[in-house]
Amino acid sequence: MPRVSFLILLTCTLTTLLTIVGCDSGSARVKQLYVNSTSASEAAIKQHDKDGNGTLDSTELKSIASIGNVSDQYDTDRDGQISALEIRSRIDKWQAMKVAMVSCGFVVKLDGKPLPEAKVRLDPEPFLADTLRPCFGATDSRGRVTPSQEEASIGNQSDGLTGVPPGLYRISITHPKLEKLKQYHSETILGLQIAPDDPSLMNLELKLASR
């Protein structure tokens, strides 16, 4: 198979929707989704700690790219290992900002050219699936997509606003040209942290290849 290169340029504006709203406010805003950081962090270690030492190293982080891609934001003691406490602290940090959604835009490119009509899905990591829901989008003629929750999953709280709740997500991209590359959809190795204080969201590049 000839080598094919893919590039996804992700740019996320940190335009955010703050939670709530006091009893006197005229209209309700989208409420922040609360993540139990203790149980989530412990589950993350349990699912990905293959050597059983209680932490995640660089090899184990390959199976959870949503953290591995920004491991410097988690590995606060710089020991090359990420513990449950460090994951919990990171989740607590973004939750303390009380941001309900982050507005994100992805530009999907194939061989340096925009890839239109690609379906993009963000699934929360399994240890967050009880709280977060998938987000969806499709690229336009310029390869741009703005994922958001389906209207039905947020009811009348959306108030016409779109975005992705802060969290850790697996990215799946489906398109006829990617059909044989399961590592980018059905067995995806792609991941993304959505956090209101993540500076990498402004200029993130994710390079994909067929081999």
- For 123-165, the pLDDT digits (tens) are 999 999 999 999 999 889 988 888 888 654 544 444 445 789 9
Between 163 and 37, name the one with better pLDDT. Answer: 37
Q: Examine the pLDDT at 172 and tell me if it is beyond 80.
A: yes
Distance separating alpha carbons of residues 71 and 189, to the nearest angstrom: 16
Q: 194 - beta bridge partners?
A: 167
Poorest-pLDDT segment among 25-34, 92-101, 186-195: 25-34
Q: 204 - beta bridge partners?
A: 10
Left, alpha or beta for 52 (phi > 0: left; psi -120 to 50: alpha)? Answer: left
Q: What is the pLDDT of residue 3?
A: 46
In which band, very low, low, confident or very high, does the pLDDT at 24 lie, cut at 50, 70 and 90? very low
What residue numbers bound the domain in which 88 lies? Answer: 5-209
Q: Which residue has the tokens 């606060």?
A: 76
The single-letter code of the amino acid at 102 is V
Nearest to 193 by CA among 86, 90, 117: 90
Left, alpha or beta for 197 (phi > 0: left; psi -120 to 50: alpha)? Answer: alpha
157: Cα within 13 Å, side-chain hemisphere: 19
Q: What is the pLDDT of residue 206?
A: 60
How much is the average pLDDT of 59-82?
96
Q: What is the pLDDT of residue 48?
A: 97
Q: Which residue has the tokens 């590995």?
A: 75
Nearest to 129 by CA among 41, 50, 40: 40
Task: Please indicate, yes or no, whether the overall pTM of this predicted structure exceeds 0.75.
Answer: yes
The single-letter code of the amino acid at 170 is R
| Number of domains observed in the structure of the chain | 1
Q: How many CB atoms lie within 10 A of CB 31?
A: 16
Phi, psi of 195 (to 5 degrees): -140, 140
Q: What average pLDDT is seen over the chain?
A: 81
Distance separating alpha carbons of residues 9 and 203, to the nearest angstrom: 7
